[in-house]
Structure 1
Amino acid sequence: MQDMVLRLSAAIARATRVFLWLAAAGLVGMTTLIGWQVWGRFVLNDTPTWTETTSILLMGWFIFLGAAVGVREGNHLSFDVLLYVLPDRVQRLFHTISDFVVIAFGGGMVWYGWQLAETTWATTIPNLGITGAAAFFSLIVGGVLMILLSVERLLRRAVGLNTSRFGEDPIQE
């Protein structure tokens, strides 16, 4: 079972690298678009109207992709002082509870993101000419990824593998 979870983890590690690269590309793209908007406004005296809306959509993507990877890697802010003095068994219990809370949070992101997308499907983002639901796609995808990556953490913990820093597994990289 442990070997199967390690193979799954290796595949997920490759996918999360792609997510991070996409998030980085989104950040670079947003920065470039905002730079173009400032250039257009102050130098060309002709502000491109679509850049701000596109930048906001890109921001949603790089935030939620990065947040999902942060869930997997255990890099989010947390209050760990108490955990250092507790026995390993209690630490694992607290980490497991935390993963279930993240799964519930991701489920809420998917559920409410889907409702918002349904509600705004018939509207159009004026500057881009695309459905208003596009503003919520990153929320839905981010929630799904948070759920899947938290389930991976639970699986790893269930078979006795490390969940704090995944790079320590030899098969992973």
Structure 2
Amino acid sequence: MQDHIKTVARALSHVARLALWLASAGLILMTVFISAQVFMRYVMNDSIVWSEPAAVILMGWFIFLGAAVGIREGYHLSFDVLLYFISDTAKHWLYSVSDLIVGGFGFGMFYYGAELMFSSWDVVLPSLGISGAFDFLPLVAGGVLIVLFSAERLARRAAGMPTARFGETDLVED
């Protein structure tokens, strides 16, 4: 079983790395768009009509992809004062409950984001000329990744394998 989990974990590691690269590229591209908009508005006394909506869509991508990778790596927000006072077994149960809740939240992001995406499919964003569904696609993609990464963490923990570089300090990364 551990061999299968390791294979899936390696594949998801590549997915996480790709998501992080895409999020980084989106952040850089958004910065370029906004900088160009500021230059055009205040220096050239003109405006780029598509820069703000494109920047907002890119911001959705780097926020949701980055958040999903943060879930996988164990960098999401947590309140861990209780963890200093309980046994290792209880810690693992609480980590699992946390991963289940986060996975459920990711499923909600996917499900309701998909509903929003499909309901805005026929709407055209005037400044970009693309479907309004693109506004909600990052929410759907981030939700799918959060569900996958939460399930991976649960499977790794169930098999006695390490799950994160941060948080579960008694476990060592492969």
- The corresponding residue for 1:127 is 127
- Write 1 or 2 for the structure with the bigger share of helix: 1
Please give the alpha-carbon distance, in whole angstroms, between the structure 1 residues aligned to 2:162 and 2:80: 17
Which sections of structure 2, spanning at least 5 residues, go unmatched? 167-171
**CA offset digits 1:114-171 (Å, max 9, x no partner):** 11112111110010000111100000010000000000001100100111318x544x
CA distance in 2, matches of 1:105, 1:169: 26
SS of 1:44 mapped into structure 2: coil
User: Which 5+ residue runs of structure 1 have no aligned equivalent?
Assistant: none
- 1:3 counterpart = 2:20: no
Q: TM-score, normalised by structure 1?
A: 0.94
TM, length-normalised to structure 2: 0.94
Kept in 1, the 8 Å contact 2:163–2:173? The answer is: no
Alignment correspondent of 1:143: 143
| Count of matched residue positions in the alignment of Structure 1 and Structure 2 | 170
The 5 A counterparts of 1:149-160 are 149-160=149-160
Let me know the Cα RMSD of the aligned residues. Answer: 1.4
Query: Map of 1:37-116 to 2, 5 A cutoff?
Result: 37-116=37-116
Deviations 1:52-85 (A, max 9, x none): 0000000000000000000001101211111122
CA distance in 1, matches of 2:108, 2:14: 26
Name 1:16's counterpart in structure 2.
16
Where does residue 169 of structure 2 map in the other structure? none
Structure 1 stretches of 4+ with a deviation exceeding 3 A read none
- CA distance in structure 1 between the partners assigned to 2:98 and 2:22 by the alignment: 27
The higher-RCO structure (CA 8 Å, 6+ apart) is 1
Letter matched to residue 40 of structure 2: G
What is the CA deviation profile of residues 24-58 of structure 1, one whole-angstrom value per residue up to 9, with x for unaligned ones?
Answer: 00000000000000000011111101000000000
Whole-Å separation in 1 of the counterparts to 2:31 and 2:106: 27
